Amino acid sequence: MTPGRGSIAALVAYALLSVPVRAETIQVTIDKLVFSPAEVNAKVGDTIEWINKDALAHTATATSGDWNVVIAPRQTGRVVLKKSGAADYFCKYHPNMKGRVVATP
């Protein structure tokens, strides 16, 4: 028994639907009290991962209050972007440390 056109179409549709959503992880390094790159572009659903190379704790704190990530010395911290638009952030412990995430839908 050969599958009819309807079931082939259903299989194709299923294959398209089961492709995973392309969410990426974008890395920002913290080294000597500097976020690098200072500005990153991402999409809603992507993860921003901060890699702290310093021996000090840092935070990535959105000025909007939407997220606040504490990054322990020589550890990583992450946030999943839930909103589109530009988000400025800073480190609570070192307010001169500033960065920006621009998320497109």
Distance CA 81, CA 77 (A): 13
Using rule CB under 5 A, residue 93 touches Cu ion: yes
Among positions 91, 99, 101, 103, the unique one binding Cu ion when judged by CB under 5 A: 91
Q: What character string, x for contact with Cu ion (CB under 5 A) and - otherwise, covers 30-69? A: ----------------------------x-----------
Q: Which stretch binds Cu ion (CB under 5 A): 10-18, 67-75, 80-88, 89-97?
A: 89-97
Cβ–Cβ < 8 Å for 59, 69 = yes
Going by C-alpha positions, the residue among 24, 31, 26, 23 that lies closest to residue 71 is 31
